Amino acid sequence: MGITNMNSIDQLTVTYQHKFGQMPAHIARAPGRVNLLGEHVDYNDGFVLPAAIDRATYLAFSPTDAHHSTLWAVDINQGASFTLADLSRKRQTDSTPLPEWAHYPAGVMWALQEEELFVPNINAVYSSNIPQGSGLSSSASIEMAFMVAWQTLGNWVLPPMQRALLGQKAENRYVGVNCGIMDQFASACGVANKLLLLDCRSLNWNTIPLPENISIVIADTTIRRKLTSGEYNQRRSACEEAVRLLSRDLPTIKSLRDVNLDDFNLLAGTLPVGIEKRARHVVEEIERSKQAQALLEAGDIQSFGKLMNECHASLRDLYEVSCPELNIMASTAQSIESCYGARLTGAGFGGCTVNIVDSGSVRDFVQFLSRGYESVTGISPEIYISHASNGAELLV
Ligand code: GLA
């Protein structure tokens, strides 16, 4: 599957040559992300703790004199072609509908055009080793790879956070997923060997070193979700409704970030049960994520891991974005001694768990978890040790 290393970048170049009859002028890379704490709080002005990972989208590209842009997605063996003028109609050059996968790069082109930045036509071939729908932000990595490409060809420079915000705009307004800023931020701003702590209200962020002797393990249930299915947008609307209802008693609140747990407990009974559950997850998860930095800096991995376990339970029972396979993967990991914390990562409904594991025992952990999950589900999972990587960049 996909492109993994220099050898495979060579393969991408070969495919590019085959499609366009010449070498690509450039190669860009943009990583996926894993989130350790602060789930479903980015669109509630909370704090998130992601890291860019060593899986990424790779993009070979050149400017073109043609009057349209031509893309080839290696992993699905499909192409698309569109002009700036076709963007708002979501049509290809031959008037057929733009395929859904092409909405991400086209959305980036649209968002840049809205900013009145120069977005020249492009010939591009890309491939990713981030499985789609796995909760590791394959979409954001595609967006950030194309941001780097158009920045290179358009001859302008935007700070990484600005590129992240425009990627989010593309996803919100062009693709139609009302996501927060976390995924594009992590893909754009990632730092090797570091966790990123982002305040999603002020957009201030800093890095936190990974504690020593700790490995991040990603465990893929192989169950796939579809984020555009509406469940995600429904969660976001429930949070907005909670703010509307709570502001009858707390008129100064702008988002659930402004509601402390004591006030929430007092007012919880005034909310419809469904809304109360969603809002409780967010209020409690923001409380948890506020503790993250101090715990990590003090090296208190036990307590940090406990917060991760609590987060999983909350996503399962209150936010209701887990699934049986994610629950089995998380609880199996939590029962293994070398594991400090395990929980689903990303939007949920399938995909991956993130696990914080004692490095000395990590190989055994991977084996136990793999066997345990397979024995209950009959599904062979993909489990690997992940390393925090740099954000989106031009390689060549
Ligand atoms: C998806 C969204 C993010 C964030 C997570 C849940 O990955 O793109 O903005 O909301 O879900 O934390």
pLDDT digits (tens, 9 = 90+) for 322-366: 999 999 999 999 999 999 999 999 999 999 999 999 999 999 999
How many Å lie between the centroid of ligand 1 and the Cα of residue 66?
36
Asked if residues 87 and 110 have their Cβ atoms less than 8 Å apart, the reply is yes
Stated length of the chain: 396
Averaged over 249-259, what is the pLDDT? 98
Averaged over 157-178, what is the pLDDT? 96
| The pLDDT of residue 156 is above 90 | yes
Residue with tokens 């376990």: 309
pLDDT at residue 1, as a whole number = 40
In which band, very low, low, confident or very high, does the pLDDT at 225 lie, cut at 50, 70 and 90? confident
Torsion sign, CA atoms 324, 325, 328, 329: negative
How many Å lie between the centroid of ligand 1 and the Cα of residue 141?
13
In which band, very low, low, confident or very high, does the pLDDT at 228 lie, cut at 50, 70 and 90? very low
- Alpha helix (H) residue ranges in 74-177: 103-114, 138-154, 160-169
pLDDT digits (tens, 9 = 90+) for 263-293: 999 999 999 999 999 999 999 999 999 999 9
In which band, very low, low, confident or very high, does the pLDDT at 8 lie, cut at 50, 70 and 90? confident
**Cβ count near 327 (within 10 Å):** 17
Buried b (16+ CB within 10 A) or exposed e, 80-89: bbbebebbee
Does 179 sit in the ligand 1 pocket, CB within 6 Å? yes
Cα–Cα separations (whole angstroms), residue 148 to 119, 214, 392: 11, 32, 7
Among the atoms of ligand 1, which is closest to the Cα of residue 41?
A: 12
Among the atoms of ligand 1, which is closest to the Cα of residue 139?
A: 8
| H or E element that contains 291 | helix 273-297
Phi-psi group of 317: left, alpha or beta (phi > 0 → left; psi -120 to 50 → alpha; rest → beta): alpha
How many Å lie between the centroid of ligand 1 and the Cα of residue 281?
14
| Rounded Cα gap, residues 50 and 201, in angstroms | 16
Active site residues: 183
Q: How far is CA 220 from the centre of its chain?
A: 14
| The pLDDT of residue 6 is above 70 | no
Does 42 sit in the ligand 1 pocket, CB within 6 Å? yes
Using a 10 angstrom Cβ sphere, with 0-12 exposed, 13-18 middle and 19 or more buried, the burial of residue 266 is exposed
Ligand 1 pocket mutation pick from 45, 182, 349 by most atoms within 8 angstroms of CB: 182
Work out whether strand 69-73 and strand 122-128 pair parallel, antiparallel, or are unpaired: parallel
| Rounded Cα gap, residues 186 and 138, in angstroms | 12
Two tokens, residue 180: 């927060």
How many Å lie between the centroid of ligand 1 and the Cα of residue 389?
19
Does 182 sit in the ligand 1 pocket, CB within 6 Å? yes
How many CA within 13 A on the CB side of residue 198? 32
**Averaged confidence pLDDT in the chain:** 96
Ligand 1 pocket mutation pick from 40, 239, 314 by most atoms within 8 angstroms of CB: 40
How many Å lie between the centroid of ligand 1 and the Cα of residue 386?
19
In which band, very low, low, confident or very high, does the pLDDT at 4 lie, cut at 50, 70 and 90? low
Asked if residues 189 and 137 have their Cβ atoms less than 8 Å apart, the reply is no
DSSP helix/strand/coil, 207: strand
